[in-house]
A and B are shown apart, each in its own frame.
Chain A
Amino acid sequence: MRVLVVEDETRLANNIAEALRERCGFAVDCAENGTDGAALTEFKHYDLLLLDLMLPGLDGLSIVRQVRRRKDMTPILILTARDQPAQVVELLNAGADDYLAKPFDLGELLARAMALIRRGKGASQPVLTVGRISLNTVEQTVRCAGDLIDLSPTEYRLLEYLIFRPRAIVSARELLEHLYDYNWQHHSNVIEAHISNLRKKLRAVGEETSIVTLRGRGYRLEAPEQQL
Chain B
Amino acid sequence: MKAAANAIKTHSLSRQLIGGVLLAELLCAALFSAAAIGHEMHGRRRAFDVMLRGRADSLLGAVRDAEDPEDNVTVDPAELVLPAQDLYEVLSPSGRVLGHSPASSADLLAALSTPHPPGYFNFRVGREHYRALRFDGVRVIDREDNGGLRRPVTVLYAAPTWYLWREAVEAVQFYLLAGALLLAVTGIALVWFLRRRLSPLQELAAIAGRVSARSWEFVPPAAVLRTTELAPIALSMEELLKGLQLAFERQRQLTGDAAHELKTSIAVLKSSLQLLSMVPRTAEQYEAGLEGLLLDSARMEELVSRMLTLARLEEAPVELGESCELQSVVRQVAERLRPLAELKQVVLDVSAAEPLVVALPAGDADLLCSSLLVNALQHSSPNGRVSVLVRALDGVTEMRVADQGDGIPASALPHVFERFFRADRSRSRASGGAGLGLSICKAIVERANGTIHIHSAVGTGTEVTVTLPARQNSAQN
Q: How many Å lie between the Cα of A54 and that of B422 in the bound state? A: 12
A102 touches B274 (CB 8 A): no
Interface residue count for A (Cβ, 8 Å)? 25
By a CB distance below 8 angstroms, the chain A residues around B422 are 56
Closest B residue to A107 using CB positions: B274
Main secondary structure of the interface of B (DSSP, over half): helix
Closest B residue to A11 using CB positions: B268
Q: How many Å lie between the Cα of A105 and that of B256 in the bound state? A: 21
Which B residues are closer than 8 A to A by beta carbons?
A: 256, 259-260, 263-264, 266-272, 274-275, 278-279, 292, 296, 422, 424-426, 429-430
B260 touches A8 (CB 8 A): no
A32 touches B260 (CB 8 A): no
A12 touches B259 (CB 8 A): no
7 tightest CB-CB pairs across the interface, nearest first? A106-B274, A103-B267, A15-B271, A102-B267, A81-B263, A103-B266, A81-B260
Residue A42 CB within 8 A of the other chain: no
Closest A residue to B271 using CB positions: A15
Residue A158 CB within 8 A of the other chain: no
A12 touches B271 (CB 8 A): yes
By a CB distance below 8 angstroms, the chain B residues around A121 are none
Say whether, besides A11-B296, A22-B279, A81-B260, A104 and B267 are in contact (CB < 8 Å): yes
B264 touches A81 (CB 8 A): yes
B275 touches A18 (CB 8 A): yes
By a CB distance below 8 angstroms, the chain B residues around A9 are 264, 267-268, 429
Residue A137 CB within 8 A of the other chain: no
**CB < 8 Å neighbour of A15 from B259, B263, B275:** B275
Q: How many Å lie between the Cα of A101 and that of B260 in the bound state? A: 10
Output the least CB separation between B167 and chain A (Å).
86
Output the least CB separation between B300 and chain A (Å).
11
Which A residues are closer than 8 A to B by beta carbons?
A: 8-12, 15-16, 18-19, 22-23, 32-33, 54, 56, 79, 81-82, 101-107
Output the least CB separation between B432 and chain A (Å).
12
B264 touches A16 (CB 8 A): no
Contacts A16-B271, A104-B267 supplied; 14 other A-B pairs, CB < 8 Å: A8-B425, A8-B426, A9-B267, A9-B429, A10-B429, A12-B267, A15-B275, A23-B278, A23-B279, A101-B263, A102-B266, A104-B270, A105-B270, A106-B274
**CB < 8 Å neighbour of A11 from B263, B272, B279:** B272
Closest B residue to A18 using CB positions: B275
Output the least CB separation between A221 and chain B (Å).
29
By a CB distance below 8 angstroms, the chain A residues around B266 are 102-103
Closest A residue to B261 using CB positions: A81
Q: How many Å lie between the Cα of A103 and that of B263 in the bound state? A: 6
Closest B residue to A15 using CB positions: B271
Q: How many Å lie between the Cα of A132 and that of B256 in the bound state? A: 54
Q: What are 13 of the A-B contact pairs (CB < 8 Å)?
A: A8-B429, A15-B268, A15-B272, A19-B278, A54-B260, A56-B422, A101-B263, A102-B267, A103-B263, A103-B269, A103-B271, A106-B275, A106-B278
B271 touches A81 (CB 8 A): no
B275 touches A19 (CB 8 A): yes
By a CB distance below 8 angstroms, the chain B residues around A10 are 426, 429-430
B275 touches A102 (CB 8 A): no
Q: How many Å lie between the Cα of A15 and that of B270 in the bound state? A: 10
B425 touches A11 (CB 8 A): no
By a CB distance below 8 angstroms, the chain A residues around B292 are 11
